[in-house]
Amino acid sequence: MTGRPKTYVTDGGTDVADESPSFDATVYYEGDADGRYIDDETVAVLGYGSQGHAHAQNLAESGVDVVVGLREDSTSWAVAEEDGLRVATPADAAEQASIVSVLLPDTVQPAVYEEAVEPNLEPGDTLQFAHGFNIHYDQIRPPAGVDVTMIAPKSPGHLVRRNYENDEGTPGLLAVYQDATGTARETALAYADALGCTRAGVVETTFHEETETDLFGEQAVLCGGVTELVKAGFETLVDAGYAPEMAYFECLNELKLIVDLMYEGGHMGMWDSVSDTAEYGGLTRGGDVVDRDAMDEILADVQNGTFAREWIAENQANRPAYGQYRRAEREHEIERVGARLRELFAWGGDGGEPRA
């Protein structure tokens, strides 16, 4: 099984893959997966949240024997049963399964692993993740005799499920941390196929690379960077005397339109769609608001474990700083203005579709 390697070439003709392996991606599709590696196995899906419900339902509808692992007092227990799935405690589910898919929050995983999963692992079993945090930062240390793999759909769980139901795919990542059986990659790929990811393409990576790029992207761009940029722009306009509603439209509401253009056609697709004035202004001024030195520091904190240690300690202390940050975010003026405007206009709660 070799997948289909993708090589990227710069405008100048230099083969980037020769200089950096991270650009030499192997992508797997439906024809690369062999369902026999999972057909006769039982998969325990621990958790029934955003990713858990999508994995469990997609796998089950692909013909895989699935048992959902939940606490006995979990409100999701009845929901999973109503969805037609078998439910057991995490320990019982792990005992029944040869593939244990750990889809609980990162902060919960180590305790559940120690109490319920590790005692029920047998040589040849597979420990499956959708994010590498706890393996990469040594919060979970699997025994030598089991495979440790990752299939990480690059989408929220409800879209993983919706795409599957629409006979479409969700791109995903595949990584093998430990190959005790010699067939860990094949098993992970069969799992990805049953999940629907091979319909779109599954890119091979490592736990190291997935964890560090994911954390950096969340902090510097996708979640932290974007929200701080939006708030700073909003505050700049409001402090200068402009109407908060106008500031909201310019700095937050229109962001979706720009991101959609970038998603569909990259940066140039976006630049080709906006006015020349917007393009020139963005190209000449945009760099002034981005601090690359600060980004390097954020990445360094991810790489050397500073962020992981901070987050682990924060949870051990019952999240005091986390709570303060969330309260400050909730009380920001942009939240009050946005709530008011969203009520005034016919914007639906799903994808911006108009309300009936």
Long-range contact set of residues 340-346: C-beta below 8 Å, sequence gap at least 24: 341/245, 341/248, 341/249, 341/253
Read off φ and ψ for residue 151, nearest 5 degrees.
-125, 115
Instruction: Render 256-313 in DSSP notation, one character per residue.
Output: HHHHHHHHHHHHHHHHTTS-HHHHHHHHHHGGGG--HHHHHHHHHHHHTTHHHHHHHH
Query: Which residues are registered as beta bridge partners of 302?
Result: none
* Angle at the Cα of 157 from the Cα atoms of 255 and 189, rounded to 5 degrees: 120
DSSP state of 122: -
> Taking phi first (over 0 means left), then psi (-120 to 50 degrees means alpha), and beta for anything else, what does residue 63 get?
left
Rounded to whole angstroms, the Cα distance separating 305 from 228 reads: 23
Q: Of 145, 51, 143, 62, give the one whose Cα is nearest residue 101.
A: 51
Report the 10 Å Cβ neighbour count for 4.
Answer: 12
Rounded to whole angstroms, the Cα distance separating 317 from 237 reads: 38
Whether residue 22 contacts residue 1, with contact meaning beta carbons closer than 8 Å, is answered with no
Whether residue 143 contacts residue 122, with contact meaning beta carbons closer than 8 Å, is answered with no
Rounded to whole angstroms, the Cα distance separating 164 from 54 reads: 9
Q: Of 227, 220, 226, give the one whose Cα is nearest residue 294.
A: 220
Q: Of 260, 60, 70, 57, give the one whose Cα is nearest residue 158.
A: 57
* Active-site entry in 55, 131, 158, 208: 131
168-202 exposure pattern, b = at least 16 Cβ within 10 A, e = fewer: ebbbbbbbbbbebbebbbbbbbbbbbbbbbbbbbb
Active site residue 53: no
Q: Tell me the catalytic residues.
A: 131
